[in-house]
Structure 1
């Protein structure tokens, strides 16, 4: 397998704020409906390049594998492919998407705990990087290598490391301390046509701290020194899980420090630069998802109802918590309310107001105690919702809303996912 170094010379352009107003949202509603997502593709590309260059400034042989599971909008994934990044996938569905949008198999990293034998064989034989997670997958690869003795088989191995700040024992990868990783290397040494290309580690930390990345990088380097004594591995993959950009009011709701791209790069890249100073340097692969996509999506929902229940003021919007914060329970996202200056006869109530969703669940409150003026016909725009919202949203109560893409260079909006229909939701059922 050849790991090519694709470099796209793209400068990091200054971000242009998406111009929104009540009038603009009104016309967007006429075309797309009373709730929709807006994707700022230029901001995504800027985040991607800024993150990548923070690492490359220290360790040039760095590449990003964009985490499809975080947000697999095809337009985003196509942009990553254009910029030379890997597609980091954790399912056959995501692998198929990467192939469908033109990603070369050699630029796909296949991770995840559940890979069927046919998925593993297809990816390996196509030249993708497959990071094995468990002994059952080792058995699949072993059987493949024995069935095809003239075929060179190459894989990566996911390492289960003891990293500070996790707070629990991770269920992913081969236990380093318990000897499972050592056993896997022994299996592959006995196969003449099977080799390990590199080591991978992805461990979720609640604080996503710089210290945890320093430690996992240090341990991966130590493992590479131990298992790759003749020559360094082709890659060292430190995974993802980094904090992304967020507004100050959201940042203040976290009880931990929020590192920058630069701080993450300084925790990881200098260690590889110090350990591999020569001409041959392993490829450093980093797998950001949240870090580059968190702040590139907005959700627009129209206010359609107002009521007072005892002392509680309530505004009903065409959206739900599933649209904006499936993984941020207990936090209030940044929002802005756009009001019509001419619409003076719409119904208003005095703050504070709870902005509630369309579902029949009591906990479906998109924002608690909004302190500004709000009324029927206004538009509420939530920010910092790029991570996991689109991929986690179930067709609960209402089909999924459309996604439109904003291009700040052209100041244009384009539909990139149409509104889901009743037929879409029930098309897989036998009626």
Structure 2
């Protein structure tokens, strides 16, 4: 999409002075390239898109149209998947908190449900005993060391014997089985080596727990780096692997262990990897001031729009200048782009080193992951999201601007 000051001015006239721009074509391209990187080595691979990373319905519908799973971690996300037409059998239900009702409904509907804790095991065993003629099938999330530097709180402790206990309990039930194993372990560097380790370990676990038949699936979760511009990439003190590097760390091990056509399905659950670079945020510059030695430019947005996790990384920024503004309405040199909230930490971009003025548009990139889902309606309602269609050369609304009524509708007044 080609942006210019004039194009952004026209979009402001239609949608307001701050908005997100969604690139669905880039998202589909990322998704297909990521999937093909794995399938070229291990053909029986499928992706489960992580709804929690960005649950804009248009993104989720794109995944559905491409044949992917919906990977959800709450009933809210499960309900969204159903609402956009995803079959329960194409939903993977993960996460540490599932109510008994939600857990039972998802299992009976045929979804892949990966249990996380003993309390969920108790719910499943109770369901199996209550419905002895019903075949109950689940997955189990495993917790083991991959060199992450911290002990994860999620899943069943392999070394401590918790996973053993679950298999023993299910073996005592004639109608309850384990379809496969799942792991999702976050590391600060998202390194290729950590994925080699987790793949090796989960294969060893499947060999041990499925001695007579192969599991239906092996689910290695997500946590991969996504694409990013060079200026953002340079701020990391670790290597940023490509899709192919991740695939080559994982898929050959599966191919070697399961070379025939009856191989288990490899499920990968990308979020950041496919969505990080498909969203931009546009914020108009509406004020400038100098306070002692500090220059600031006020934009119609906040740090919560672009960095709700409060990362110290500078996002890629492009300023589109209004060529008609006067010199008195500009700043140059070291300028902090600040937001509309009353919080001192609300600085979207520190030390901008070029000219910026009232009427310009600041466009932030590489913010497709977690921004929309994490942003609270703090001080102002959330801005709209628009999508660009290159075939029609048209921008369309995919989320309208929130109103005060939206924000306060759940309160009792």
TM tier relative to shorter chain: over 0.9
Q: Distance in 1 between matches of 2:396 and 2:328?
A: 30
- Secondary structure of residue in 1 paired with 2:196: helix
Matches within 5 A, 1:282-293: 282-293=264-275
2:308, 2:234 → 1: CA distance? 19
Question: Alignment RMSD, CA only?
Answer: 0.8
Residue 328 of structure 1: how far off its partner (Å): 5.2
> Are residue 174 (structure 1) and residue 156 (structure 2) matched?
yes
What is residue 60 of structure 1 aligned with on the other side? 43
Secondary structure of the 2:151 match is: coil
Unaligned runs of 5+ in 1: 1-17
| Off by >3 Å, runs of 4+ in structure 1 | 342-346
Is 2:28 the counterpart of 1:45? yes
Give runs of aligned pairs for residues 310-321 of structure 1, distance below 5 A: 310-321=292-303
How far apart in 2 are the matches of 1:335 and 1:209? 27
2:15 aligns with 32
Q: Residues 119-146 of structure 1: CA distance to partner in whole angstroms, max 9, x if unpaired?
A: 0000000000000000000000000000
Alignment TM-score, normalising by the size of structure 1: 0.95
Partner of 2:125 in structure 1?
142
Q: Is the 8 A contact 1:152 1:194 kept in 2?
A: yes
The yes-or-no answer on 1:20 pairing with 2:9 is no
1:302 paired residue among 279, 284, 294: 284
Contact kept, 8 Å, 1:346 with 1:377, in 2: the verdict is: no
- What is the distance in 2 between the residues matched to 1:397 and 1:266? 46
Q: How does 1:369-384 map to 2 (within 5 A)?
A: 369-384=351-366
Question: Structure 1 residues 220-229 or 328-337, which shifts more?
Answer: 328-337
Distance in structure 2 (CA, Å) of the matches to 1:430 and 1:215: 51
Q: How many residues align?
A: 413
Helix, strand or coil at the partner of 1:181: helix
Deviation at 1:342, TM superposition (A): 3.3
Pick closer, same or farther for the CA change 1:94–1:346 going to 2, 3 Å: farther
- Distance across 2 between alignment mates of 1:328 and 1:395: 16
Q: What's the counterpart of residue 208 of structure 2?
A: 226
Taking the aligned partners of 1:170 and 1:345, their CA distance within structure 2 comes to: 54
Give the CA deviation at 1:345: 6.1
- Structure 2 match to 1:271: 253
Q: What secondary structure does 1:358 align onto?
A: coil
Contact kept in structure 2, 1:55 and 1:269, CA below 8 Å: yes
Q: 1:335 aligns with which of 304, 317, 331?
A: 317
Structure 2 residue aligned with 1:4:
none
The farther-off stretch of 319-328 and 87-96 is 319-328
Residue 52 of structure 2 corresponds to which residue in structure 1? 69
Other-structure match for 2:68: 85
CA distance in structure 2 between the aligned counterparts of 1:378 and 1:37, rounded to whole angstroms: 16
Which of 151, 173, 176 aligns to 1:194? It is 176
Answer whether contact 1:335 1:380 (CA < 8 A) is retained: yes
1:411 Cα deviation after fit: 1.7
CA distance in 2, matches of 1:204, 1:172: 10
Q: Say whether the 8 Å CA contact 2:41–2:255 is kept in structure 1.
A: yes
In 2, the alpha carbon distance for the partners of 1:323 and 1:263 equals 31
Matches of 1:398 and 1:279 in 2, distance apart? 55
Distance 1:408 1:264 in 2: 30
CA drift at 1:279: 2.4
List gaps (5 residues or longer) in structure 2: none
Q: What is the TM-score of this pair, normalised by structure 2?
A: 0.99
